[in-house]
Homo-oligomer: A and B are copies of this chain.
Amino acid sequence: MTRPSAHVDAARLWSRHLSLARHGATAAGGVNRQALSSEEIAARRELLAIARALDLTAFTDAAGNFFLRMEGRESDLPPVLTGSHIDSQPTGGRFDGVYGVLAGIEAIEALRMACITPRRPIEVVAWMNEEGSRFAPGMMGSAAYAGAAALDPMLSITDAAGVTVGRELARMRDAFPDVPLRPLGRPLAAYLEAHIEQGPVLEQVGCSVGVVTGIQGKRTFRVTVAGEEAHAGTAPLATRKDALLAATAIIQGLSKALADPDDIVKFTVGRIEVLPNAPSVVAGRAVFSIDLRHPDSARLRALGDAIENLCAEQGRPCGVEVRELTTAMSLDFPPAIRDLLRDCAAAIGIRTLDLPSAAGHDARFMHAVCPSGMIFVPCKGGISHNEAESATASELADGARVLVDALLSLALR
């Protein structure tokens, strides 16, 4: 039997990336296709058209995840799942997430061209709200699927305009009346996710495919600083409770306290909202995010646990409330999956590198459900979550080649 990877078509896979990037295209060449937006609906419609031409069946679930199923010879067996997400950051790129979904579709197309029907069904998934930029936190769809978080409390989470996840899920369902609903958490045989690296390592060492060893841990927090509004021209500085000034002191204090000469600790404040946010009013309230990551779970625990006290000290005389939003410790993917990916690559002459994922992915939650693993491909300069995100057609195709051979191997078991 020919390996299905021989049928992966780099030009086809590339042109599908360009085509999907039209939905939410930004002037700077990036993508703004946030979770459950009209742009995401349009992108799913395009995926559906490709899937129907490949004779796949579409399904969804209560969390708004989107599945495209290739039937296996034994359709009652738990399927092998692959995919990622098609939602983006507000100023995101054309490859983050999308690649995992399109590589999955390319894998199925290669199987069709090779006239192979695997024993198990193979499904491609686009998870709901991986990015977490419109609705926080991210990875909602995979978390709900894996039972790591209950769906119900997610439904009332709102975006900046006050629109709820629940309302937008209903809108997404209404957009696809012919796509039936399946229960959450159906059993899976295995899960593979292909993704751009979002870091510079593969490009630097000159490997087109990375075998991901695991995912570094991440804790996220929301810090609320309570001050007191006052007139910028008249209120004495000695008696002010300036929430914006206190927030900047906290952020600078945390940045110094978490400084790491080895550059392993990743500390980011990406979002701040101030009230009333007027130039001549001392701010009464400031709310900001903290994103803290470290590959060592014990170290991540210790660093994260110190945050609340640091905030309270630096925030005086304002009141400070720190709430942890998500806690995800570091994890390692099973060696058997990593070996399989490495072997599939070696068999077709693709050199791989083992490397950890510094970013979080839906594979984090699937890891708790079934044997899971990830494939990385390089992205230019390691730049991601940025409109300048870039990748090459041939490297994207190499990742899809390893993916399809590994999927087939898992689906024959």
Q: Which of A272-317 contact B (CB under 8 A)?
A: 272-284, 289, 291, 293
Contacts of A216 in B (CB 8 A): 233
Cβ of A255 within 8 Å of any chain B Cβ, yes or no, is yes
Q: Are A133 and B233 in contact (CB under 8 A)?
A: no
Q: Which of A77-135 contact B (CB under 8 A)?
A: 89-91, 131-133
Once the chains are docked, how many angstroms separate the CA of A406 from the CA of B287? 48
Once the chains are docked, how many angstroms separate the CA of A133 from the CA of B232? 12
Stretch touching chain B among A13-21, A143-151, A377-385: A377-385
Cβ of A267 within 8 Å of any chain B Cβ, yes or no, is yes
Nearest chain B CB to A384 CB, angstrom units: 5
Cβ of A242 within 8 Å of any chain B Cβ, yes or no, is yes
Contacts of A247 in B (CB 8 A): 248
Once the chains are docked, how many angstroms separate the CA of A413 from the CA of B255? 65
Q: Are A255 and B245 in contact (CB under 8 A)?
A: yes
Q: Are B274 and A271 in contact (CB under 8 A)?
A: yes
Once the chains are docked, how many angstroms separate the CA of A215 from the CA of B299? 55
Contacts of A293 in B (CB 8 A): 232-233
Q: Give 1 or 0 for each of A217-230: 1 = CB within 8 Å of chain B CB.
A: 01010000000111
Contacts of A237 in B (CB 8 A): 260, 263, 265-267
Q: Are B270 and A384 in contact (CB under 8 A)?
A: no
Cβ of A235 within 8 Å of any chain B Cβ, yes or no, is yes
Cβ of A214 within 8 Å of any chain B Cβ, yes or no, is no
Given B133, B229, B245, which contacts A281 in the complex, CB threshold below 8 Å? B133
Cβ of A234 within 8 Å of any chain B Cβ, yes or no, is yes
A325 to chain B: closest residue by CB: B279
Contacts of A236 in B (CB 8 A): 263
Q: Are B386 and A233 in contact (CB under 8 A)?
A: no
Q: Are A280 and B234 in contact (CB under 8 A)?
A: no
Once the chains are docked, how many angstroms separate the CA of A199 from the CA of B229? 13
Cβ of A198 within 8 Å of any chain B Cβ, yes or no, is yes
Q: Are B199 and A234 in contact (CB under 8 A)?
A: yes
Q: Give 1 or 0 for each of A234-259: 1 = CB within 8 Å of chain B CB.
A: 11111000101101110110010000
Q: Are B230 and A385 in contact (CB under 8 A)?
A: yes
Q: Are B270 and A283 in contact (CB under 8 A)?
A: yes
Cβ of A169 within 8 Å of any chain B Cβ, yes or no, is no
Nearest chain B CB to A87 CB, angstrom units: 12
Question: Which among A279, A281, A382 has the greatest number of chain B C-beta atoms within 10 A?
Answer: A279
Given B91, B138, B252, B284, which contacts A229 in the complex, CB threshold below 8 Å? B91
Q: Are A133 and B263 in contact (CB under 8 A)?
A: no
Contacts of A238 in B (CB 8 A): 263
Once the chains are docked, how many angstroms separate the CA of A384 from the CA of B275? 15
Given B136, B267, B280, B281, which contacts A279 in the complex, CB threshold below 8 Å? B136
A383 to chain B: closest residue by CB: B230
Once the chains are docked, how many angstroms separate the CA of A18 from the CA of B300? 55
Cβ of A72 within 8 Å of any chain B Cβ, yes or no, is no
Once the chains are docked, how many angstroms separate the CA of A216 from the CA of B132? 46
Q: A90-B277, A270-B282 are in contact. List 8 more A-B contacts (CB 8 A).
A: A133-B276, A218-B233, A231-B358, A231-B385, A247-B248, A248-B252, A268-B280, A270-B279
Question: What are 5 sample pairs from A and B whose C-beta atoms fall under 8 A apart?
Answer: A91-B276, A198-B233, A198-B234, A232-B385, A244-B269
A interface residues (Cβ-Cβ under 8 A, vs B): 89-91, 131-133, 136, 138, 197-199, 216, 218, 220, 228-238, 242, 244-245, 247-249, 251-252, 255, 260, 263, 265-284, 289, 291, 293, 358-360, 382-387
Q: Which 7 A-B pairs have the closest CB atoms?
A: A279-B289, A232-B268, A248-B248, A233-B359, A133-B278, A234-B358, A199-B234
